Structure 1
Amino acid sequence: MFTGIIEDLGVVTNLETEKDNLHITIKSNITGELKIDQSVSHNGVCLTVVDINAEEYTVTAINETLQKSNIGDLQIESIVNLERAMKLGDRLDGHIVQGHVDQTATCISVESENGSWVFTFEYDTSLSNITIEKGSITVNGVSLTVVNSKPNQFSVAIIPYTYEHTSFKDMKVSDIVNLEFDVVGKYVKRLFEMNN
């Protein structure tokens, strides 16, 4: 379980394919606090630490993860939003995030708004995921509030702190991002579908 509050920006230092799996090595300031078998969110994708070597650690993404997220698009020197799993008893500063990406979206607009930024994303509606105005959404692991919710797109407003401390500072139009829709909304949607 995560909160969507990014702890660090990691840098991809190595990518190694083994059958359908991708081993991703990342250099991070939090590596020294990690342990083997620990869950860490990478751009919103929960991956397990399988190796640690000095300032670098390695995680493995299986084929399903590569198909449903932007993890397969990572390259050497890619910047990755990182968050360790929350501790029981900590404040929930973002919202409940599972680290299970529902689908990807495309950034279709980046607008500077006198000290903040508005990013707009478009996603495929065939998976029946929805956003609601002022609801929660996770974009590349970052807990955000939805503005301008539409059937196949939404926007988020990014404050300077979030812009500087996440991969939003490098994001541009046409970039693919990971989305995790609000878990409460997913359960409500499922219950509604079962009763109709």
Structure 2
Amino acid sequence: MFTGIITAVGRIAEIEKHAAERRLWIETGDLPLDDAVIGQSIAVDGVCLTVIEFGEAAFAADVSNETASLTTLGDRDVGARVNLEHALAVGDTLGGHLVAGHVDGLGRVHSWSRDGDSWRLVITGDPSLAAYWAPKGSVCVDGISLTVNEIGDDWFGVNIVPHTLAETALGDREAGADVNLEVDLIARYVARQLAYRR
């Protein structure tokens, strides 16, 4: 589990391609690895990956063909900046919302516009995900916990404050760029229960 509060921005340093997967080497920037162990989870742009090896201020994780095809990690190139977050530990502050690191689908950056000192970001997505978007509810975009401000049939709008823009890789995502979307866990289970009762 994660919180959607990005703790560092890393960079894809190397991509090793194999028949069934890609191995990503990710430079961790300010993400501390002192207590990190093989087998632990780190969210990379909102995708829960398992650490399989460490390098100097870097770690390696395998990305299966399934994950590569359903997330942006299949298209990211060497040099791309990525959002990083350690898994939530018992007793940690839950500053965002509960995030599983299981991407529900891709969204696309539709537009950025100024809103005072902040930015209004509109993202389009599969209409099947729209049932999980609610004004003042939560959504995870490339691993970032964000509050939904407005919704449409296949889009939602969020406000990006200067701190989020400065401390994440979200500003790299220009109009037309794909982003990883994870809907709110509570909304997902409520929708499942309602569907089951019907």
TM-score scaled by length of structure 1: 0.96
User: What is the aligned partner in structure 1 of residue 33 from structure 2?
Assistant: 32
Matched residue, 2:43: 41
Which residue in 2 is equivalent to 1:17?
Answer: 17
Amino acid at match of 1:91: T
Aligned equivalents of 1:84, 1:17: Cα separation in 2: 25
Within 2, Cα distance between the matches of 1:127 and 1:153? 9
* Distance across 2 between alignment mates of 1:144 and 1:32: 26
- Provide the rounded CA distance (Å) in 1 between the counterparts of 2:159 and 2:61: 31
Contact in 1 for aligned 2:45/2:180 (Cα 8 Å) = yes
Contact persistence 2:15–2:78 (CA under 8 A): yes
Report the aligned-residue RMSD: 1.2
The one-letter code matched in structure 2 to 1:62 is: S
| Runs of 4 or more above 3 Å deviation | 126-129
Cross-structure match for 2:8: 8
For structure 1, the 5+ residue unaligned runs are none
Task: Quote the Cα distance in structure 1 between the aligned partners of 2:129 and 2:119.
Answer: 28
Q: Which is worse superposed, 33-42 or 130-139?
A: 33-42
Residue in 2 aligned with 1:55? 57
- Partner of 2:106 in structure 1? 104
Q: Structure 2 matches for 1:156-175, cutoff 5 A?
A: 156-175=158-177
In structure 2, distance between residues paired with 1:7 and 1:107: 23
Q: C-alpha distance in 2, partners of 1:116/1:95?
A: 21
Please list the CA deviations of residues 97-125 of structure 1 after superposition, one character each: whole Å capped at 9, or x if unmatched. Answer: 00000001000011112210011001112
The alpha-carbon deviation at position 138 of structure 1 amounts to: 0.2
Distance 1:75 1:24 in 2: 10
My pick for the range that moved more, 56-65 or 4-13, is 56-65
TM-score, scaled relative to structure 2: 0.95
Cα distance, 1:128 vs structure 2: 6.5
Provide, for residues 114-144 of structure 1, a one-character-per-residue CA deviation record: whole Å limited to 9, x for no partner. Answer: 2100110011124665200110000000000
2:178 aligned residue: 176
Counterparts of 1:16-165 in structure 2, within 5 Å, are 16-28=16-28, 29-30=30-31, 32-33=33-34, 34-126=36-128, 129-165=131-167
What SS is found at the alignment partner of 1:101? coil
* Greater mean deviation of Cα atoms: 61-70 or 135-144: 61-70
SS at match of 2:132: coil
Distance 2:196 2:46 in 1: 28
Aligned residue identity for 2:3: T
Aligned residues: 196
1: CA distance, partners of 2:132 / 2:154: 8
Q: Give CA-to-partner distance per residue, 1:60-111, whole Å, 9 cap, x none.
A: 1111111211111110100000000011011110000000000010000111
| Unaligned segments of structure 2, at least 5 residues | none
